[in-house]
A and B are shown apart, each in its own frame.
Chain A
């Protein structure tokens, strides 16, 4: 377990005595202050998430339809770690499969583009969405294939529209 910390501290007793000494209190301030940036990021992303969620609800109302949520059922990165399979090309492409209620979407994410396929094959339109708005959208071909020239950072989702309805993939950093 090489990634595990070797210096995980034992829980300190929650007593006033622990901080009675100036130097002990000052020493505890150092990691507390060092973690302030991460704490700030964790809470400020929650604000962004809330507004992104309200935006999705507005989209649902606009489309006057339920958005079927597709959950991640396969991730080549995770599967690769388990089986030791490596990408033949050595390129950092990643295959993700999302499914829900008999339909789904498969995507292959590389450094510069996202290629994908609606399952079952059907024509439609896909939009890649970040929490702060749409990145790029494209119509699929008649069998549901699409290509998006984008490599977004942070969590994203696909909104897939077809004659059967609209589905969205769960939020995930690609």
Chain B
């Protein structure tokens, strides 16, 4: 469960330039904030390529490692989302090649086109939405969170199973779910998410939009 633990910390208010400068001098908090602002972008790419969790981990690890080595060369902080987006895409293509799945496009030049960007924008919105929901779940009291997590598994367990797993009466599952969902809508994460207009645009000030949890 990812949650924004540094909410309200000064890092969230720092500019990309400040964060890059901080990360270069070894400040891990600055690096964490850079990662936090771009995690949805990496997630969107990974979803676009339908990677397994292990493949996604290797791709993300590679992107972060190489980003750290190139961080000092980035003259323009606004270039950061584009760099991450492109690097993640390349690693995803390589990863799908490694697993011997066929890719009917030229991996060196293919799909840097409008369709790719539209698709990525869609996945990015989706990643932002899901990340907001996960952050919202993390804000709930534990009994409501546990219930909603359990009910959100696929396929969903029966109320009898839920009752046995969580030790609550079957009759209280419905009302607890209802109260949990109502409370979810009131969380800081959801209210923040809903307060900001959508429409990510990489390379067009996209770093501001991507900064959202």
Interface residues of A (CB under 8 A from B): 1-5, 8-16, 19, 22, 25-26, 28-43, 45-50, 52-54, 56-57, 69, 75, 77-78, 81-82, 131, 153-155, 170-173
Q: Name the distance in Å between A17's Cβ and chain B's nearest Cβ.
A: 10
Q: Which of A1, A2, A11, A32 contacts B125 (CB 8 A)?
A: A11
B172 at the interface (CB under 8 A from A): no
Contact between chains at A39 and B32 (CB < 8 Å): no
A75 to B108, CA, bound (A): 11
Chain B minimum-CB-distance residue to A16? B194
Closest residue on chain A to residue B34 by CB atoms: A46
Instruction: Please indicate the chain A residues that have their CB under 8 angstroms from the CB of B43 in the complex.
Output: 35, 38-39, 42
Which residues does chain B contribute within 8 Å of A39, judged by CB atoms?
A: 2, 39, 43, 131, 134
- B61 with A32: CB separation less than 8 A: no
How far apart are A121's CB and chain B's nearest CB, in angstroms? 27
Give, as a whole number of angstroms, the nearest-CB distance from A129 to chain B.
11
Q: Which residues of B contact A (CB under 8 A)?
A: 1-2, 23, 26, 28, 31-32, 35-36, 39, 42-43, 46-51, 53, 56-62, 64-69, 93-98, 101-108, 119, 121-123, 125-127, 129-131, 133-134, 137, 148-149, 151-154, 177-178, 181, 184-185, 190, 193-194, 196-198
Indicate whether A30 sits within 8 Å of B152 (C-beta atoms), given known contacts A3-B96, A5-B50, A82-B106: yes
In the complex, the answer to whether B69 meets A53 with C-beta atoms within 8 Å is yes
Residues of A within 8 A of B185 (CB): 16, 19, 25
Residues of A close to B56: CB separation below 8 A = 38, 41-42
Complex CA–CA separation, A155 to B56 (angstroms): 12
Q: Chain B contact residues: over half helix, strand or loop, or mixed?
A: helix
Which residues of B are found within 8 Å of A170, using beta-carbon distances? 66, 69
Residue from the list B42, B53, B68, B97 in contact with A53, Cβ < 8 A: B68
Contact present for B61 and A49 (CB under 8 Å)? yes
Closest 5 CB pairs of A and B: A49-B64, A32-B130, A45-B61, A171-B65, A32-B133
Chain A residues whose C-beta falls within 8 Å of the C-beta of B62 in the assembled complex: 155, 171-173
Q: In the assembled complex, which residues on chain A have CB atoms less than 8 Å from the CB atom of B32?
A: 46-47
Bound Cα distance A75, B28 (Å)? 33
Q: Is the CB of B65 within 8 A of A3?
A: no
B108 / chain A contacts, CB cutoff of 8 Å: 78, 82
Bound-state CA distance A92–B138 (Å) is 44
Contact in complex: B194, A15 (CB < 8 Å): yes
Given known A-B contacts A3-B101, A40-B2, A42-B46, A50 and B31 have beta carbons under 8 A apart: yes
Partner of B151, one of A5, A26, A49, A56: A26
Residue pair B60, A42 in contact (C-beta under 8 Å)? yes
- A3-B50, A39-B2, A49-B67 known; 6 new pairs, CB 8 Å cut-off, are A8-B119, A11-B122, A31-B130, A50-B28, A155-B65, A170-B66
A113 CB → nearest B CB, Å: 18
Closest to A10 in B: B122
Q: Pick the contact of A171 from B50, B66, B137 — CB < 8 Å?
A: B66
- A12 cross-chain contacts in B, Cβ below 8 A: 125-126, 129
29 pairs, A vs B, C-beta closer than 8 Å: A3-B50, A3-B96, A3-B102, A3-B103, A5-B50, A14-B193, A14-B197, A15-B194, A16-B194, A19-B190, A25-B185, A26-B148, A29-B137, A30-B152, A32-B133, A32-B134, A35-B47, A39-B39, A41-B53, A42-B56, A42-B57, A42-B60, A46-B60, A50-B68, A82-B108, A155-B61, A171-B61, A171-B69, A173-B95
